[in-house]
Amino acid sequence: MSEPEMTGNWALQIYREVLAMKKDKALVVVDLQVDFCPGGALGVADGDKIIPTINKYVELFSQHQLPIFVSRDWHPPETTHFQAFGGPWPVHCVQNSRGAQFHPDFQIPDSAIILSKGTDPSLDGYSVFDAQDAENRFFLELLKERQVKELYVAGIATDYCVRTTALDALHHGFKVTVLIDAVKGVSPTDSERTLKEIVEKNGQLKGFDDVVKALN
């Protein structure tokens, strides 16, 4: 083999590796549901304000043909998650209720994989890693199946389900980027503490322009 051929083959291999690296990313949008937006049972202040930005991320990941996962709280009517049954929370996101629906302004592509959590009446189900798809496959299995190595996390609430999802992802060895312009928390103080915790555990915080650069 001549030196030019070797150089060309080497460059092609590098290109393929770089391309593969760009295809090992996925977007996960956490719990962008009616009950977690203003006016809902557990509405987060200005939770609906991040929806236009999340829609931009959805469009971006769709353009790059990258997986998009969308989680939802999907509680049974009776669960230890609710105050009436010994839990900490008022009734919210009950299966097939209006409050459990995704916010009407959230543009979910047909290719998105819907993940339901909180379905077990004895478990809280904060993390998307507790969620399953329509075929009862857990999030971790779906990520491994698609060879995903890096997660970009958006949604509600920064200091609860976004937090547990990001920390679980780091625990499982994924690279994690929290989309700082596409999350909203219950408590500003706790949300700030959460983001600091994620960074201390080697997670990253990025906005839209930085993510565009990372995917190109």
DSSP-assigned beta bridge partners for residue 30 = 71, 155
Give the separation between CA 204 and CA 137, rounded to whole angstroms: 27
- Looking at 166-211, which runs of residues are DSSP E strands? 175-184, 204-206
Catalytic residue among 73, 93, 117, 124: 117
DSSP reduced 3-state for 127: coil
Q: How much is the pLDDT for 196?
A: 98
Residue 64: count of CB within 10 angstroms of its CB? 14
Q: How much is the pLDDT for 76?
A: 97
Q: What 8-state DSSP symbol labels residue 162?
A: I
pTM listed for this prediction: 0.90
Q: What are phi and psi of 89, to 5 degrees?
A: -120, 145
Give the separation between CA 117 and CA 187, rounded to whole angstroms: 22
Query: Is 161 tagged catalytic?
Result: yes
Residues composing the chain: 216
State which amino acid sits at residue 55: N
Give the separation between CA 131 and CA 213, rounded to whole angstroms: 30
Cβ neighbours of residue 16 under 8 Å, at least 6 residues apart? none
Q: What 8-state DSSP symbol labels residue 140?
A: H
Sign of the four-CA dihedral 100, 206, 50, 160: positive
Q: Which two tokens stand for residue 78?
A: 């009776």
Q: How much is the pLDDT for 193?
A: 98
Q: How much is the pLDDT for 23?
A: 81
Q: Parse the chain into domains and list their residue ranges.
A: 25-215
Give the separation between CA 47 and CA 157, rounded to whole angstroms: 8
Catalytic residue among 35, 48, 130, 161: 161
Query: Is 117 tagged catalytic?
Result: yes
Give the tens place of pLDDT for each residue, 39-83: 999 999 999 999 999 999 999 999 999 999 999 999 999 999 999
Catalytic residue among 31, 48, 130, 168: 31
Q: Please list the rounded mean pLDDT of every run of 10 residues in the chain (216 residues).
A: 49 48 88 98 97 98 97 97 94 98 98 97 95 98 97 98 98 98 97 98 98 94
Domain 25-215 has CATH 3.30.2420.10: no
Chain position carrying tokens 């996925």: 26
Q: How much is the pLDDT for 3?
A: 45
